[in-house]
Amino acid sequence: MKTLLKHLQLISFLLAVSLGSSCTKDFDKLNTDPVRVTSVAPGSLLAPAQFDGMWLITRRAHRLNNEMMQYTVETGALNDFARYEFKENEFDPIWTTLYVKANDMSEMYKSAEQRNDVNNMAAALVMKAWFVSNLTDMFGDIPYTEAFRGRDDLLYPKYDSQQSIYTSILADLKKANEIFDENKAFETTDLIYSGDIIKWKKFANSMRLRLLVRVSNKSEMNAPGQIAEMFGNPAKYPLIGSNDDEAMMRYSGTKPFINLFLEMAAAEFSGSRRMGKPLMDMMNNTVDGRRFRYATRNTPGAYVGIPSGYDEQQTIAFADNGGLKTSTLATTLKGGSYPFPILTWSEVNFLLAEAALKGWITADAQSYYNKGIEASWKQWNCTWDGTAGTTYLSRPTVRFTGANANMERLIGQKYIAMFFSGFESWYDYRRTGYPVLPKGPAVKNNGILPTRFEYPLITKATNKANYDAAAAKIGGDKLTSKVWWQN
């Protein structure tokens, strides 16, 4: 029997060949088993991991997160996700691809460490933390300590607790900030920052802030204290501070570095999807200037979404809207050079607004809330200057003052801003309960929006004893079981 890692690499390769969406031929030399690659420069492993990992998260968010969080509603025969129904093998591509990419970053770190290449070491830690945090936030306890030891022929890696995984990746992000060195070379192929070390440090600290807020309900993590330490020492812990700093996958528009939605059939991307009613209603009620970036107009020229969680025939009728039709995803999102976010200035501002609102830092929550909205508008290239911004912030359903300065309003605006930002809105929903999303009469799963994904078939088949123990620990491998950081 092969190791779990070898199984994962084989399946990931087969998926790439059959689907044509994981790797491109231009990455062939780099997408080999890094356990056996000893001569390749560490920095050359970065771009393939960024590209494949980002596409996996973006593609699966388009398919799953957008449906669960009612950004969109699938109207065709495969609209099961809006009803909380998933095929048994639905989550296998997420597991396999993110594990392989995390392993690549583990090997990149080891190779860079042998050369005392601190900047590639740090970049590997940041990217691995991103991949692993998504894995554990989706599934809960996962193999970690023993998962990246392919050379040791570990056949059955144990599942680590989510708490221990978070402790490790938070420490890695702190270490990355410490070892990035502007005075040393950073020889790398970098699709996010083109080797800008200052921006990488801001990315590392901002991701640490994101993850600390995620586990802030767990007193044993002392997240408020760590956030206060970071906030109080910006020279040591710089954060993303402008749209220019944010971690974006800025595709060149020339193969292989293109937004792969470009190659997706229009019917698959948006043809059978309609915009979700909660998102469109929130944006219509405030005359949100980002609507044209997110959605198309219907026949009379309005932005109209449809409710989620109904059966197929009802959903089709909602989409038709008496012949007036309803909004779909904006066609510009399919552009070959259209950038998609990993971690934005908008998100950082909303994280700091929450920290201020809860008293973890001494700061004005309203100021960061307003900056979060402004940053989002600018991220989407919408007009903010002049009276546009002040008019929007003064609207009664937007204004963040008095009794309206609360988590529901903050997360509601963050939900709008996190459109096409991976699975972040789902993680926020599970942590806070916001935004409040209506549930249609055809939803399954006891009417509960999934609180995690079920473990994939690959781990059930290759690591059954450890899988069984992990499933028993959470009360069963179910969509309704909660991960450690959820209340």
Tell me the per-residue pLDDT of 175-213, one tens digit each, with 9 for 90 and over: 999 999 999 999 999 999 999 999 999 999 999 999 999
Other CB atoms within 10 Å distance of the CB of residue 320: 14
Claim to verify: residue 285 and residue 187 sit in the same structural domain: no
Of 483, 433, 422, nearest to 207 by C-alpha is 422
Claim to verify: residue 184 and residue 274 sit in the same structural domain: no
Question: Which domain covers residue 30, as residue numbers?
Answer: 1-191+445-487
Claim to verify: residue 6 and residue 138 sit in the same structural domain: yes
Of 78, 84, 124, nearest to 101 by C-alpha is 124
Claim to verify: residue 291 and residue 185 sit in the same structural domain: no
In residues, how long is the chain?
487
Claim to verify: residue 151 and residue 49 sit in the same structural domain: yes
Claim to verify: residue 134 and residue 17 sit in the same structural domain: yes
In a domain, 48, yes or no: yes
Write down the pLDDT at residue 106.
Answer: 96
Which amino acid, one-letter code, is at 443? V
Rounded average pLDDT over 303-316: 96
In a domain, 130, yes or no: yes
In this predicted structure, the answer to whether residue 221 has a pLDDT above a threshold of 90 is yes
Which of 317, 334, 351 lies at the terminal end of a domain, its last residue? 334
In a domain, 171, yes or no: yes
Count the helices and strands in the chain (H runs, E runs): 19, 6
Which amino acid, one-letter code, is at 133? S
For the chain, percent of residues with pLDDT exceeding 70 = 91
Which of 334, 353, 379 lies at the terminal end of a domain, its last residue? 334
Write down the pLDDT at residue 32.
Answer: 44
In the structure, what pLDDT confidence band is assigned to residue 9 with cuts at 50, 70 and 90? very low
Claim to verify: residue 330 and residue 450 sit in the same structural domain: no
In this predicted structure, the answer to whether residue 57 has a pLDDT above a threshold of 60 is yes
CATH code at 104? 1.25.40.390
Other CB atoms within 10 Å distance of the CB of residue 232: 11
How many distinct structural domains can be found in the chain? 2
Name, in order, each residue with C-beta under 8 angstroms of 394's C-beta and a sequence gap of 6 or more: none
The whole model's pTM is what?
0.92
Which amino acid, one-letter code, is at 29? K
Q: Is 247 strand, coil or helix?
A: strand
Claim to verify: residue 156 and residue 265 sit in the same structural domain: no
Rounded average pLDDT over 104-123: 97
In this predicted structure, the answer to whether residue 349 has a pLDDT above a threshold of 60 is yes
Claim to verify: residue 277 and residue 163 sit in the same structural domain: no
CA 407 to chain centre: 21
Mean pLDDT of the chain: 91
In a domain, 30, yes or no: yes
In a domain, 219, yes or no: no
Are 47 and 40 in contact by the 8 Å Cβ rule? The answer is: no
Claim to verify: residue 3 and residue 117 sit in the same structural domain: yes
Rounded average pLDDT over 399-422: 97
Q: Tokens at residue 316, please? A: 């089709």
Please report which residue ranges of 358-423 form alpha helices under DSSP H.
365-379, 388-393, 407-417
Phi, psi of 246 (to 5 degrees): -65, 150
Pairing of strands 142-143, 340-343: unpaired
Claim to verify: residue 310 and residue 187 sit in the same structural domain: no
Of 344, 282, 347, 275, nearest to 304 by C-alpha is 275
Write down the pLDDT at residue 484.
Answer: 97
Write down the pLDDT at residue 151.
Answer: 67
In a domain, 424, yes or no: no
Are 271 and 75 in contact by the 8 Å Cβ rule? The answer is: no
Claim to verify: residue 90 and residue 180 sit in the same structural domain: yes
In the structure, what pLDDT confidence band is assigned to residue 250 with cuts at 50, 70 and 90? confident
In a domain, 410, yes or no: no
Which of 334, 351, 378 lies at the terminal end of a domain, its last residue? 334
Cross-strand partners of 276: 306
**The dihedral of CA 108, 452, 206, 53: what is its sign?**
positive
In a domain, 404, yes or no: no
Q: For 86-111, what is each residue's pLDDT tens digit?
A: 998 999 999 999 999 999 999 999 99
